[in-house]
Amino acid sequence: MTPPTNRSLFERAQRVIPGGVNSPVRAFRSVGGTPYFVARAQGAHVWDVEGRRYVDYVQSYGASILGHAHPRVVEAVRRAAGEGTTFGAPTEREVLLAEELCRRVAGLEMVRLTSSGTEAAMSAVRVARGATGRPTVVKFAGGYHGHSDALLAAGGSGVADQGLSASAGVTPGAVADTVVAPYNRVPEIGDDVAVVMVEPVAANMGLVPPAPGFLQGLRQACDRTGALLCFDEVITGFRLGPGGASQRLGVRPDLWCFGKVIGGGLPLGAFGGRRDVMEQLAPLGPVYQAGTLSGNPLATAAGLAVLAELDDVAYTMLDGRATELGTMLAAVLADADLPAQVPRVGPLLLQLPPTLAADRPRLADTLDRFPASTRVAVEFRHPSWFDDDTLSLLAARNVALVLADRRSRPLGLVERTADWGYVRFHEGRARPWPCYGDQALGRWAERLAARWRPGDDVFAFFNNDPRGCAVRDACRFATLAQRQGLRPTRVPASGEVTIS
């Protein structure tokens, strides 16, 4: 029998699993190529089915904080499995894990275990609405809180009252009570707001620490209006320190969501908070929440084994290693003259493509080279470059915007034709890029609608590539832009969209 390969397994998977994967990011659509299929893992490494070994910087997106197949975790799971895998009845380890979570996190008085972070966030919203009697949820652009309908709203500051969803299949009614605000800005909190849901350190749009006073401002705004503040610590919980982000950052919410680390690599989530709020849950109160596999005995065994290893010494080591790795990565990237950022918040570390945060002064200087009468287009390649300050800078100069180029060209190239100035801000090797999804295109469209003044020129250009994505992207962007009140005037075959 021929051993399976990554390609053969992916081809088989695509016949029986949508996209060949059970979570979209695993399909490699954004980076190209064939996904590797993992055969086994140990410590910092994974091996695919072809025997190739990888240094694993993913670590199940943060769930494997001790590395893969840690011997004490494996032994705890093996011992628990020998006693039975699920009972539909309470177990001692559920109590022990809940006690350990409450012991570590100041203000966490009661906890309900779930099977995932998505389930925890969804349930936290429900109990907040039940406890307050209010309908509205406030979340922040770029924050991810699982795939429940109400938390997939993709509105921005310009369309917050429209409740636009980021996924097909989510009805307008499902997100009608969801308001999306810009991260790191304290929004107006009305008396209809049940809960403000926030990642205390945003880790799903790159890695963005909270601005000074942001979390404190949210706490004060919620206190003034009676809304509840919920920290989604599925990523930061028990990774930033023994008590998670709330301990490290000094702000105490009313509710928390946890996941990843607390399951030790097995499916486990949790939500919890103040006793008076959590006592609204059935069977004590009127808010229903349940789960057949909640508090699964294998997951609680793994979670307890992991938390037993995470003391102050462990966090000091994690922090130090992240600092060292971040410094080394930044140095290597600088030596290679590659524009990139390596943000770090404690043990959280991420290597990112370049953003204009660091290059904004150079962009402003470049724009100043052109006479005021010159119409200027600026081209970017990555959505993370669209921060509000950069958009404000461009809008102030009536600059046109080139949203994407699929073939990188030299950094800082400036071309001038007639009364147009043209600036490219990116660098890298030439290669085709995959089609952009409606979520990214819609985000660009909504941010343009929020920032551009009537009459400003907005020029969107999607350069052609061998896969022919440019025209598709241009047409979709034109449609989404029109929904935002922008007026697309033409979509020629080259993939250009001119909006006036």
The tens place of each residue's pLDDT in the chain, 500 residues long, gives 889 999 999 999 999 999 999 998 888 876 778 999 999 999 999 999 999 999 998 899 999 999 999 999 999 999 999 999 999 999 999 999 999 999 999 999 999 999 999 999 999 999 999 999 999 999 988 788 998 988 886 432 222 333 444 577 888 888 889 998 888 889 999 999 999 999 999 988 778 899 999 999 999 999 999 999 999 999 999 999 999 999 999 999 999 999 999 999 999 999 999 999 999 999 999 999 999 999 999 999 999 999 999 999 999 999 999 999 988 988 887 787 666 678 889 998 876 655 444 556 666 666 666 666 665 656 554 444 455 566 666 666 666 555 444 443 322 333 333 344 545 444 333 333 344 556 656 665 666 666 555 555 455 544 444 344 555 555 666 666 666 666 544 333 333 333 33
DSSP, res 192: T
pTM: 0.73
Q: State how far the Cα of 265 lies from the Cα of 60, in Å rounded to an integer.
A: 8
Name the residue ranges covered by the structural domains of the chain.
1-56, 71-309, 356-499
pLDDT at 333: 76
Catalytic residue among 48, 177, 232, 359: 232
Question: Helices 469-483 and 438-451 meet at what angle, rounded to 10?
Answer: 40
| Residue 260 annotated as catalytic | yes
Question: CA-to-CA distance for 75 and 107, rounded, in angstroms?
Answer: 32
Report how far residue 90's alpha carbon sits from residue 167's, in angstroms, rounded to the nearest whole number: 36
Which SS3 state, helix, strand or coil, does residue 194 take? Answer: strand
Q: What is 1-56's CATH topology? A: Aspartate Aminotransferase, domain 1 (3.90.1150)
Catalytic residue among 144, 183, 422, 436: 144
Instruction: Measure the CA–CA gap between 387 and 376, rounded to whole angstroms.
Output: 19
The pLDDT, as a whole number, for residue 463 is 46
- Decide if 140 contacts 128 (C-beta within 8 A): no
The CATH code belonging to domain 71-309 is 3.40.640.10
The catalytic residue among 254, 260, 359, 436 is 260
